[in-house]
Structure 1
């Protein structure tokens, strides 16, 4: 298989296809429709394809043929990805159709070709990637009822389904007939059903499918191909404020963000891919954990999706600052694995060497296997509960966007990969949890386990935004350092729209009890307007505490899995976390005030900002009134500040880390080498909820590797079982 390092490049080269209705070419497919909307030309610049699909052609319409009507493919309501086209990049003999083995390096079939090379004497092929599975098509029908227009306001679709269009009917076409879509056929069961197509679910699916196992992945969110901002690195962290993420307000007032897209957090995060050290796994997972096998999985994932971050002028400045603070060397080397008491250059799923700044998320692992008949994945399918017989998970109940519920059989097992928020909720609504809670939910008890949903960790972090005199490209975590004595890992995130996007997402600049959705709407125009040039020049200095002592909970509030659970983080409830804040603040200030950073973060006031600046941004307008030598946001207390004032500052500026762990902890809720839920025989969990303690670095790499690791173990166990039965 061609290395995944090129897949985003090929996908970005996909071009539009000419679509003469009588061409008879392989693409576009035969199931197309004329949109019926007569609007401005060209159609590709205006709104067409009212019921979904892809624009593949247009024709003149309206008075004098001055307007355009679009020709579109029928939508794929199942959530399976649209067929993706790409120019192959291989210039070989013509015609390309006679040399198929020399084209379509990413798989698929040739649908078009063009001249290339000297005098265009050779050919390059355009290829169509195969769909992930035989695509269930919706059944479309004209309703036959001629009623008042527009159809959307009146009763149509007498056979059920959803209105997707209409057309004129009756005398002078003054009435309307509805065009309706019945729900697409539901997916079928599989040997293994994976709930959640995120960081760990996609890697587990790849491991099982590559071993020949039959796998179905069900993702509640959108396809990553339907959210373009997930495709590129330079849209981070703005992508957190799109439909790819679901914002949930903790009971503490802080806002969490949970992925709502195929690929999970890997499609909306900062891209860092870092391995934990062996001691972490030995401490948290015991002797049954096969560390060498885990690192094989980690290296496999990294080979598919990650590469070392590239240096920048700012990155070198931070390296020197770490060296001044005796936290790292002047020449850190690329390393997948973290290094205690040293600095290193991290790996990332961001390709920072390409002009397109592509992101390689976990969803790519499924798209790359879209031609495998033993792997199927569907988006917009919410798993409502897991069904059991005598402790064995036998099926899952799913609901699609049409609110139709079906039951899918799991012949060998179910793997939960829904994350530290939704995995415990799904266990609870399926009958595994605290008996008192199950009674309140009206859910029959399957396994009594009060630890389900407990021990929730929203990592303790400290994040300072510091105004920089330079403007540069987005730079995430080029150099990192870990200090075991202070129990802190340092990283930076610089420039772009980092500060303003995070401020909108987390509402970090006001106290938790004031962080409402209304405030988010009022902050957006402020940060995109008068002070954007200030906020977008911020460097983010981040201190990740290795341990978080305050623990919270995740609790289902309804037997309906579509309703978000109640989440309590209990930020800073344990006084040890407050002490960590003071340690982190001192360490970050030392870095910020280092000689190496002096030219970048020198203090300056912005009294000329043409806006009424809220009090929480007063340090931007007036300059620092503190002991610090730089503008730090959230604004520090005015000097001289007491310990009590800083404690109040920490409480008022606490935000979610977006690093969630421990709600289905190993040893309490799961056990055994394959992470099996206690009281069951074939229900496994592979996401961050199984970690008893947070990783000491960004968890993306560890979570992805964990999914592949457990998937590999399950595949090996199944292979051994089959061999035993043959003997």
Structure 2
């Protein structure tokens, strides 16, 4: 590979790709190319925390994916925003920093993946984290890492919700990323000094001046280049020009749970029969590429607040909006500093659960639909998702065109346990709302509403009104069995010169928001790569 311009080509400048670019280019002599299909992260709304309300539907920095009709969810299609910009989803997500349960990673190890237990991955979470939270246990947290992590700002309505959860049997927990996940407390969020701390600002920006790192935006990968069973590079297009780029050591796919399997499939790597139906020549038969898709399904409850203490009230008129902007400019506080959830609740819906099986996001505002104008009354929202869904879906190309969006079928609520857990979770949300600490704040449940009372009615509401919380994973599953796509060192089975490092390698979905785990995967992958080339 002496003609290769780079040692490593990283496909995708998202949460893991930016980490890989930083850690690999820190080794002098390694030539690293980072490719991103989208633009630079120049949009100012990317860097303002509340900006996700605008950027999540911005077609300029978003892949704008949509699922197929989902049979068990009233036959509806779901929008799946995915970041198409430096930083990827970490530039447009809701900023919640939640790692998952220790049991999640111990389960990965039990599935035959050495090096992925909680004890193994905790050092990488700590290495990544630059926490500015006073009362956290440093056995579980880091303070000097690149990724800014702070705590959501306190608020009387949020305090009342935490107290109500306690009254409902869910204990307060100021650090769900510490010794225990279960409980209610303020979310930890990826901000530093009031600004979003994306993977691009945390990892890529400090490394941009290194002479051995080249970052190429607005560059779409058409396919991987194979010579026999070795991946030697990528074919890309930029500005109408098609070019082949060669990697002397490895190509690292970090394009996410949708794009990584799609790139593999259009390159002829995947289920042979499916590839032939799509009109793609089979280069390497690997049946589970794009299979095992998992995502968190969520459903919301909204409440009319009896007091004018919600964000709806703070931005109801133009003078108030100006005041909110001035507050942000003054000290980076107020509604413009909010993440997609101020209080997090991790709870068990039934006694036989060893660990929490649902998560709530409490938000101090309400709207009829994500990204829409806030309700014209005082309101707040609680969204609830099942943490460990058993339903499985897939991502499959439908033709050889690398620009065509793949067919995405999440199969939400396909498993009975998923339907039962969602209903139980909605009932638990109501139990918290009925507690004394919220009596002075709730005047009416708007959604699901007083007429939705039976389990069947709640399930119908969940089917018709639930949505994705945007945590797709597991489409290039890690494992040592014959069905796995990558091995525990993230090398694609049966090929050389190719690894996958992003949410797609998760054997099972983590019991939390996925961004923190993706950052960890990037940190661990970089170490493994450097060990393997030493």
For residue 465 of structure 1, the aligned residue among 302, 307, 319 is: 302
- C-alpha displacement of 1:544: 2.6
* 1:718 equivalenced with 2:530 (yes/no): no
* TM-score, structure 2 as length reference: 0.82
Secondary structure at 2:261 match in 1: helix
Match of 1:215 in 2: 32
Q: 2:231 matched to which residue of 1?
A: 393
Q: Which runs of 5+ in 1 are unaligned?
A: 1-187, 506-526, 604-629, 720-727
2:397 to 556, 578, 585: 556
Following the alignment from structure 2 to structure 1, what is the Cα–Cα distance between the partners of residues 514 and 506?
A: 10
Q: How does 1:328-339 map to 2 (within 5 A)?
A: 328-329=171-172, 332-334=173-175, 336-337=177-178, 339=180
Pick the structure with greater CA Rg: 1
In the TM superposition, what is the alpha-carbon distance from 1:482 to its structure 2 partner? 2.3
- Paired residue for 1:256? 80
1:430 equivalent in alignment to 2:267: yes
Q: What is the DSSP-based 3-state SS (H/G/I as helix, E as strand, rest coil) of the residue aligned with 1:584?
A: helix
Distance 2:102 2:223 in 1: 35
Find 1:533's aligned residue among 376, 385, 391: 376
Residue of 309, 323, 346 corresponding to 2:166: 323
Q: What is the CA distance between 1:462 and its match in structure 2?
A: 2.5
Is the counterpart of residue 481 in structure 1 residue 320 in structure 2? no
CA distance in 1, matches of 2:262, 2:375: 39
Contact 1:483 1:489 in 2 (8 A): yes
* Counterparts of 1:597 and 1:550, CA distance in 2: 34
Q: 1:692 aligned to 2:504? A: no
Q: Does 1:682 align with 2:509?
A: no
Match of 1:638 in 2: 451
Unmatched 5+ stretches in structure 2? 70-76, 131-145, 312-333, 351-355
Displacement of 1:532 in angstroms is 4.0
Q: 1:469-517 CA deviation, whole Å, 9 max, x = no partner? A: 3224444444433235644343334236x635xx155xxxxxxxxxxxx
* SS in structure 2 at match of 1:272: coil
Q: Is the 8 A contact 2:360 2:382 kept in 1?
A: yes
TM-score by length of structure 1 reads: 0.61
How far apart, CA to CA, are the structure 1 residues paired with 2:19 and 2:463?
A: 37
1:340–1:366: structure 2 CA closer, same or farther, 3 Å change rule? closer
Is the CA contact 1:274–1:338 (under 8 Å) kept in the aligned structure 2? no
1:244 shift after superposition: 2.3
How far does the alpha carbon of each residue in 1:238-268 deviate from its partner, in whole angstroms, 9 at most, with x for none?
2212232232221121221111111011111
Deviates more, 1:568-577 or 1:475-484: 475-484
**The one of 150, 164, 189 aligned to 1:308:** 150
Is the aligned partner of 1:449 residue 2:286?
Answer: yes
SS at match of 2:381: strand
Q: Would the alpha carbon gap of residues 337 and 431 (structure 1) be closer, same or farther in structure 2, given more than 3 Å must change?
A: farther
> Contact between 2:15 and 2:515, CA under 8 Å: does it hold in 1?
yes
Matched, 1:191 2:7: yes
Classify the secondary structure of the residue corresponding to 2:81.
Answer: strand
CA distance in 2 between counterparts of 1:438 and 1:374 reads 37
Length, aligned pairs only: 467
1:414 maps to which residue? Answer: 251
- Alpha-carbon distance, 1:300 to partner: 2.2
Where 2:413 maps in the other structure, the secondary structure is coil
Are the counterparts in 1 of residues 176 and 182 from structure 2 also a CA contact under 8 Å?
no
Inter-partner Cα distance in structure 2 for 1:542 and 1:532:
16
Task: Tell me the distance in 2 between the aligned counterparts of 1:706 and 1:323.
Answer: 34
Q: Structure 1 residues 287, 406: closer, same or farther in 2, change over 3 A?
A: closer
Q: Match of 2:317? A: none
Q: Identify the residue that residue 204 of structure 1 maps to in structure 2.
A: 20
Relative to structure 1, is the Cα distance of residues 590 and 484 closer, same or farther in structure 2, using a 3 angstrom cutoff? closer
Secondary structure at the counterpart of residue 399 of structure 1: strand
For residue 572 of structure 1, report the CA deviation from its aligned partner: 1.3
Aligned partner (choices 267, 271, 281) of residue 91 of structure 2: 267
